Chain A
Amino acid sequence: MLSELTDDIILNILWKIEDDPRDWARLSCVSTKLNSLIHDFCWKNKTSLIIPSQLLVSSSQDHSLHKLPFCCPGLVHAGILFNTADSPEENQHQQSITSSSSTPSCSLVQQSNECSTYWSLYDDLYHDTLYADSESNHQQEQEESKENTIRTGVVDVPPESKKIKVNGSLSSHLATGKWTLSREQGSKLLARQFRDDCLYVCDWPGCVHLEEKRKYRVFRGVFMNFKKTRVWKTVNDCSNRRKIDLPCAFCSCNHTWDLHSAFCLRRGFGYHDDGEPVVRAFVCDNGHVSGAWTDVPMYT
C-alpha cells in the first residue's frame, strides 16, 4: 500500500510526526524508500535547524550527528556509573550493561541492512527494556553468590545500599531539554589552552537526571575536526592510563578518553565530598563527547 503513495504524500505524513525523532528512526527501519526519504529530506532539514552549519559541513558523512542532538548518553555513557576505584560488583554491573546492550542491537540490525549504518533510537529503547530485565537477574545472582561465600577481611554490604538508586534510563535515551548544539556551551567546558578547539555541546541544562545522591545534568557534544584539535593531541600523546573501557553512545568506539584526568577541562570545578568530580566528560576517537555537570558544593 505504501508503494501507491507518492513521495510528496509520504513527506506530508512524515512532517506531521517530526516532534518525536524516535518515530522517524523507527520508520527508517521499515523500508528503503522510507529510509531515503527520511534521510534525504527530513533529517537534513531538521539537523540544519539545530546543528550549526560549519559543524554540519565538516561532518557531512558522520551519521552519528543525526543522533547526537536528540540522544542523551545516559548515566552509563556519561561515566557516572563508571568508577575507576570501583568494587568487583560494580565492575560486573558495568560489564553486564555493555554486554546486554550489544546483543539486542545485532538482532535488530538483521531486520534490515540499512539499520547497520543508520541508527535507530528504537534500538536504544529496546535496550532499556532488556536492561531492566537483566538488572533484576543480575541482582538475584549477586544475592545468591553472597549467601554461598564467606570472604575474610571484607565487610559485605548489601548490594541495594551500594548501588546508586536511579530514576529514568541508565543507557542512552531521548534527551529532555534542548536539542540544539552550541559552541558557547563547549567553550565553558574546556581549559583555556584548548580555546581554539571547536567543541559543540547541547544547550544548558542538558538532560537532567535526578538521582538519590545528586542531580546530574547529562550533556552530549562533538568536536569539529577532532583529529586536528589540541585535545586529541593531548589525550593521544599521554599514556594509555586515561583511556577507559567506556563505549561511546554515538558510534562504535569501544573506549573513550577521560577529559578530566587529562586536564582538558576548565580548572576549578573541584570534587564533592565523596570524591566524585563536579564535572566529568569523556571523548571517543571520533570526537563524540558524553558527560555530566553537577551542582558545585556550597561548602568546601
Chain B
Amino acid sequence: MATATDQLVGFGLVTFSLVLFVYYTLWIIVLPFIDSDHGIHQYFLPREYAVIIPVAAGLLLLLFIGVFIMFVMWKSGKHAKKSD
C-alpha cells in the first residue's frame, strides 16, 4: 500500500486531469453544437482561448525543462572543475 500522502497526491492528480479533460472536451467539441443563447456558454471563455492557453502552457513547460537542463549541466560542469 502506498503511503497516505502518495494516495492523496495520486488520486488528486487523477481527479484534476479528469476534470480538465471533461471541461476541455465540452469546450472544444460539444459547445459548437449548442445554440448561442443557451446558458452554458457563460461558463466558457471565448473560443480562441481554447487554443491559446494550451499552446502557451506548452511553451512554458518547454521553457522550464530547458532551464532545468541548463541548471543541471551547469552544476555538473562546476563539480567536474572542482575535482581537478
Report whether chain A binds chain B. Answer: no
